[in-house]
Amino acid sequence: MRAFIGGLLTLVMSAVLIGVLGTSASAACETPWGSLPKGSLGDYSEGPLERVRTGRQACYDRLVIEVDGSGYGHRTEYVDEVVQEGSGKPVPLRGGAKLRVIVQAATAPGFPATASNLADVTGYTTFRQVAGAGSFESQTTIGVGVRARLPFRAFTLPREGGGTRLVVDVAHTW
C-alpha cells in the first residue's frame, strides 16, 4: 500500500511540475513586438554589407546582417511581394508571409546579393527561406519567407572589430 501511495504521489508531483514548467516556458515567450514596420530609411553606411547569418532561439528565429559601417538606415516590414532592387522583379519566397529587410548599404565584393538561399533555414520554426533581392545604388534588400505573419523586432548592435549588426527576430507564435 505504501509503495502504491508513494508511486501515486510521485506521479502527481511530476504532473504538477511539468504543468508549472510548461506555463513558465510559454510565459517566457511573450513577444509584444507586433507586426508593423520597424526602422527608418535615411543615411547610408560608409562600409558594405558583408554577411548574413541566422540562428534559432527558444521563442524566435533570428536573422543577423553584418555591415562594416554604422549609422545606416534600415526598414523591416511585411509586404505582399518582395521585389529585386533595380529591376522590380518579384523574388519567390517560401512561406505564408513575406518580410522585406532593406539595409542602406552596398554589398561587399563577392556577396551573393541575389542568391535564392542566403542562409540554410532547414528545420527552423518560423523561417522558411532567406533570399537576396539585390543591391542597387547602395541599398540592399533581403527577403525572408516566414511561416505566417508573426510579431518581429529589428534593432542594431555594435559588431566586434567595428561596424554594426542589424538583428531581426521573428517570434514562433503570437
Q: How many domains does the chain contain in total?
A: 2
Interatomic CA distance for residues 157 and 152, integer angstroms: 16
- Please report the pLDDT score of residue 27 as a whole number: 58
Q: Are residues 92 and 45 in the same domain?
A: yes
Q: Are residues 121 and 46 in the same domain?
A: yes
Interatomic CA distance for residues 120 and 109, integer angstroms: 21
Q: Are residues 3 and 46 in the same domain?
A: no
Q: Are residues 7 and 73 in the same domain?
A: no
Question: CB of 76 within 8 A of CB of 46?
Answer: no
Q: Are residues 16 and 99 in the same domain?
A: no
Angle at 166 between CA 162 and CA 170, to 5 degrees: 150
Q: Are residues 10 and 77 in the same domain?
A: no
- Amino acid 31 reads T
Residue 136 belongs to domain with CATH number: 2.60.40.3500
Q: Are residues 166 and 93 in the same domain?
A: yes
Chain-centre distance for alpha carbon 108? 21
In the structure grid, which three cell numbers stand for residue 106, read together?
Answer: 552596398
Pairing of the two strands 139-146 and 127-136: antiparallel
Calculate the alpha carbon distances from 47 to 65, 104, 132, 164, 166 in Å.
13, 10, 18, 10, 14
Interatomic CA distance for residues 75 and 116, integer angstroms: 20
Question: What is the pLDDT tens value at each position of the chain, 174 positions in all?
Answer: 555 444 444 444 444 334 444 444 455 788 899 999 999 999 999 999 999 999 999 999 999 999 999 999 999 999 999 999 999 999 999 999 999 999 999 999 999 999 999 999 999 999 999 999 999 999 999 999 999 999 999 999 999 999 999 999 999 998
In which domain, by residue range, is 10 found?
1-30
Q: Are residues 10 and 59 in the same domain?
A: no
Q: Are residues 92 and 146 in the same domain?
A: yes
Q: Are residues 10 and 52 in the same domain?
A: no
Q: Are residues 104 and 129 in the same domain?
A: yes
Q: Are residues 49 and 117 in the same domain?
A: yes
- Which of 40, 32, 56, 27 shows the shortest CA–CA distance to 150? 32
Q: What is the pTM of this model?
A: 0.84
- Please report the pLDDT score of residue 3 as a whole number: 55
- Please report the pLDDT score of residue 2 as a whole number: 54
